[in-house]
Structure 1
Amino acid sequence: MNEPKRVLHIVGGMNRGGAETMIMNLYRALDRTVLQFDFITHREETCDYDEEIHQLGGRIFYVPSIGASSPWSFVKKLADTIKQTGPYQAVHAHTDFQTGFSAFSAKMAGVQVRICHSHNTAWKQSPSWFDLWMLKGFRQLILFYSTKLVACGEEAGAFLFGKNKMKSGRVDILPNGIDVNMFYQPKEESKAQMKKKLNLHEKKLVIGHIGRFHEQKNHSFLIDLARTLKKQGVSFQLVLVGDGPLRKEIEACAIHEGVRDEIVFTGIVSKVPQYMKAFDVFVMPSLFEGLPLVLVEAQATGLPCVISDHITKEADLGCGLIKRRSLQASEHEWMKAILEAFQAESPAQETITSLLVKRGFDVKQNITGVMNIYGL
């Protein structure tokens, strides 16, 4: 038998982030006798998806990040690793504005298909003039050395590659596809049963959030919201799924605001669909996002969502499940939106699935587009 072609993905680390989960969704769905994935990561420690990657036949290699070395050292080490571990059909970089350096390395290593993929609409809340100047430089590197530009949505593409490139049609839009069946809620499986399985309070309003504890996700806003809900006498639990550098700070903030008993910090979980099915409302007050996979998953579950107006409008899949609120609005306004969302009637599961498929968020449909991007 012929050996499968291999594609090398360059990521920060294969933890349970949106981009990483999107890659794994594709990896599980594709025919691995035809195509296999390898990974270069910038984390030496074991990441959440590493064991599954090995089980699926993938390999993982460590290369220190640009920040841990220097641009030239990074490019040379990356090129050497690509040569030593290849040959590769394509190199697919997911590290936003650093992807141009990866494309440069892939060119040095002789790889013909070099993909830069945008997953975000910003990288800082308030970028300085120097940040914007750097982005222009990084963009030129991306445009010069890549052969394919890919984005999760229009706004993410415009951020990293520029509006002109979006207008030119050079950027391929690859929706963050999911296994729709994983989030389908059987009629015999009640919300109360799911709450009980996860040790959540069956009679309280369960407000969920899934995201890395990072400035971008704006967890401090959720603590303020919890304080307001408690003050107004709402019976609730706020469930925060995830981990990250700001977790201890957010836990301390919850204690200081007197809402620690109302909040469940789960850490990293492997069973995201179960938590989605247990939530009553999903809340996402992010400062910026690309097209967050977690919002696709929430809508696939039929879960009403209250999100910030800083999240791209492309995240609304037309299921009638999204309420947008300004981050300048008061916690009372957010509370009102959450209670209204909870009381609203959800669309039929068949309607949701049909919309997801129509808009390209079924991962099985995405395989053809991915193979085309890889030149297969």
Structure 2
Amino acid sequence: MPSPAVAHDDPRPLVLHVLYRLQVGGLENGVVNLVNQLPSDRYRNAIVCLTESTDFQQRIQRDDVRVYEMHKKPGQDFGLWRDLYKLFRQLRPAVVHTRNIGCLEAQIPAWLARVPCRVHGEHGWDVSDPDGSNRKYQWLRRAHSPLVHRFIALSRELESYLLERVGIKADKVSRIYNGVDNRRFAPGDSSALPEGFVDANSVVFGTVGRMHGVKDQVTLCKAFIQLCEQHPALQPNLRLVLVGDGPLREICSDLLDNAGLPDQCWLPGSLDNVPEVMRGFDVFVLPSQAEGISNTILEAMATGLPVIATDVGGNSELIDIGRTGVVVPPNSPTAMAEQMAIYAGNGPLRHTHGEAGCERIRRQFSMAQMLSAYGGVYDQLLDKRGSA
């Protein structure tokens, strides 16, 4: 852990964002967007990683944001509490904002260090608790709740979970949807797909996300194979793009190869030019078995794409069903293939739903709305408890 640069004479309150690991992911992307765009004349920001950071921190655009790595040991590491306590006492943050169950324990050293304002965000389910039914995790949230001044839920489902299953009081819970940077994600021509992969008649189905666990790109591959088999007239023009890396990548590649479709599919791994690649899609598909609030759905709508997503988590809150896209049951390649066939054969429908998605982003899920909501929570807590 580097020696912290302490600036106690700076009148701007310091917000410490506590993450498990700073890596490619929706939660992490949301935090980076927040620290990049919160008004610099009102707040200072720093990020604390309980484990470590990655090259993803290069997406931080402000030169005054420090990243601290705590190098947490596997399992229960009580030494982490000591190190966090020391860091909090040195930096004197006005706000400590933890995210998800893996960082909740950082609320204990924040309380011991007398951090004035303590916030905890729920961004989505843990991989070992995909539906929020884990009684231990419910108990942990309930046990830590006296230390937390405000819980932030990123979807209606997560808000209901905190209120009804964990038992948090309503006046301690705020719901804030993610905002999308529609300067980066916007409709436009794309040359980021491989040369010769598409032509004027192609219909490209694409997804973006880590290829493991509940993200379930395998279901999307099975749906694409069914689509090609059941619609031979459409089949030559169909394309599939899976952006992301992880253990499911090889499984998906083998599935598509065995179906005789390798030339119609592109699995490039992780990419740095996702906005440009998404502009080459015609339809965005999210096959996840569980979600909180999906940044990629928002980014797809901002890009002008119709969306097919599984009916899990907050997906149905983001999609205006029948106007910007559709939802299908999870783990159902057949239902997914049916909706893919509808979009594949109807260009005007793709265009209409894509335009409606752009408008929905402008009205309800803009970055400005997200920044205002988080700033409002921080300001309210600071006004009530002071920033010293």
Tell me if TM exceeds 0.5: yes
Q: Is the CA contact (8 Å cut-off) linking 2:20 and 2:103 kept in structure 1?
A: no
Q: How far apart, CA to CA, are the structure 2 residues paired with 1:43 and 1:216?
A: 22
Shift of 1:295: 0.5
Q: Is 1:201 aligned to residue 205 of structure 2?
A: no
Shift of 1:43: 4.0
Q: RMSD of aligned C-alpha atoms?
A: 2.9
The change in CA–CA distance for 1:314 and 1:198 in structure 2 (over 3 A counts) is same
Match of 2:95 in 1: 90
Q: Is 1:356 aligned to residue 354 of structure 2?
A: no
TM-score, L = length of structure 1: 0.85
Shift of 1:318: 6.2
% identical equivalent positions: 22
Residue correspondences, number: 362
Q: Is the CA contact (8 Å cut-off) linking 1:306 and 1:341 kept in structure 2?
A: no
1:52 to 56, 59, 78: 59
Q: Which moved more, 1:70-79 or 1:101-110?
A: 70-79
The change in CA–CA distance for 1:354 and 1:334 in structure 2 (over 3 A counts) is closer
1:208 partner SS: strand
Match of 1:36 in 2: 44
1:18 to 26, 33, 37: 26
Q: How does 1:8-157 map to 2 (within 5 A)?
A: 8-44=16-52, 46-48=54-56, 50-53=57-60, 55-65=62-72, 68-84=74-90, 86-94=91-99, 96-121=100-125, 123-124=127-128, 132-157=134-159
1:181 partner SS: coil
Shift of 1:336: 2.4
Match of 1:308 in 2: 310
Q: Which segments of 5 or more consecutive residues in structure 2 lack a partner in the other structure?
A: 1-8, 383-388
Q: How far apart, CA to CA, are the structure 1 residues paired with 2:130 and 2:42?
A: 44
Shift of 1:238: 1.2
Q: How far apart, CA to CA, are the structure 2 residues paired with 1:325 and 1:22?
A: 26
Match of 1:365 in 2: 369
Q: Is the CA contact (8 Å cut-off) linking 1:139 and 1:161 kept in structure 2?
A: no
2:279 partner SS: helix
Letter in 1 for 2:211: F
Match of 2:213 in 1: 215
Q: Is the CA contact (8 Å cut-off) linking 2:121 and 2:152 kept in structure 1?
A: yes
The change in CA–CA distance for 1:100 and 1:142 in structure 2 (over 3 A counts) is farther
Match of 2:279 in 1: 277
The change in CA–CA distance for 1:83 and 1:251 in structure 2 (over 3 A counts) is farther
Q: How far apart, CA to CA, are the structure 2 residues paired with 1:160 and 1:35?
A: 28
Match of 2:5 in 1: none
Q: Is the CA contact (8 Å cut-off) linking 1:8 and 1:40 kept in structure 2?
A: yes
Q: Which moved more, 1:341-350 or 1:166-175?
A: 341-350
Q: How far apart, CA to CA, are the structure 2 residues paired with 1:261 and 1:230?
A: 13
1:307 partner SS: strand
Match of 1:325 in 2: 328
Shift of 1:103: 1.1
Q: How far apart, CA to CA, are the structure 1 residues paired with 2:361 and 2:143?
A: 35
The change in CA–CA distance for 1:166 and 1:350 in structure 2 (over 3 A counts) is farther
Shift of 1:157: 2.6
Q: How far apart, CA to CA, are the structure 2 residues paired with 1:272 and 1:353?
A: 17
Shift of 1:246: 3.7
Q: Is the CA contact (8 Å cut-off) linking 1:92 and 1:115 kept in structure 2?
A: yes
2:245 to 236, 239, 243: 243
Q: How far apart, CA to CA, are the structure 1 residues paired with 2:212 and 2:304?
A: 26
Q: Is the CA contact (8 Å cut-off) linking 2:218 and 2:251 kept in structure 1?
A: no
Q: How far apart, CA to CA, are the structure 2 residues paired with 1:268 and 1:3?
A: 40
The change in CA–CA distance for 1:223 and 1:357 in structure 2 (over 3 A counts) is closer
Q: Is the CA contact (8 Å cut-off) linking 1:98 and 1:138 kept in structure 2?
A: no
Shift of 1:260: 3.5
Q: How far apart, CA to CA, are the structure 2 residues paired with 1:160 and 1:206?
A: 39
Q: How far apart, CA to CA, are the structure 1 residues paired with 2:354 and 2:260?
A: 38
Q: Is 1:231 aligned to residue 221 of structure 2?
A: no
Shift of 1:253: 4.3
Q: Is the CA contact (8 Å cut-off) linking 1:75 and 1:104 kept in structure 2?
A: yes
Q: How far apart, CA to CA, are the structure 1 residues paired with 2:174 and 2:160?
A: 12
Q: Is the CA contact (8 Å cut-off) linking 2:38 and 2:375 kept in structure 1?
A: no
Q: How far apart, CA to CA, are the structure 2 residues paired with 1:345 and 1:248?
A: 30
Q: Is the CA contact (8 Å cut-off) linking 1:10 and 1:91 kept in structure 2?
A: yes
2:211 partner SS: coil
Q: Which moved more, 1:217-226 or 1:37-46?
A: 37-46
TM-score, L = length of structure 2: 0.82
Shift of 1:358: 3.3
Q: How far apart, CA to CA, are the structure 2 residues paired with 1:350 and 1:251?
A: 32
Shift of 1:24: 1.9
Letter in 2 for 1:275: V
Q: Is the CA contact (8 Å cut-off) linking 2:123 and 2:153 kept in structure 1?
A: yes
The change in CA–CA distance for 1:13 and 1:125 in structure 2 (over 3 A counts) is closer
Q: Is the CA contact (8 Å cut-off) linking 2:119 and 2:151 kept in structure 1?
A: yes
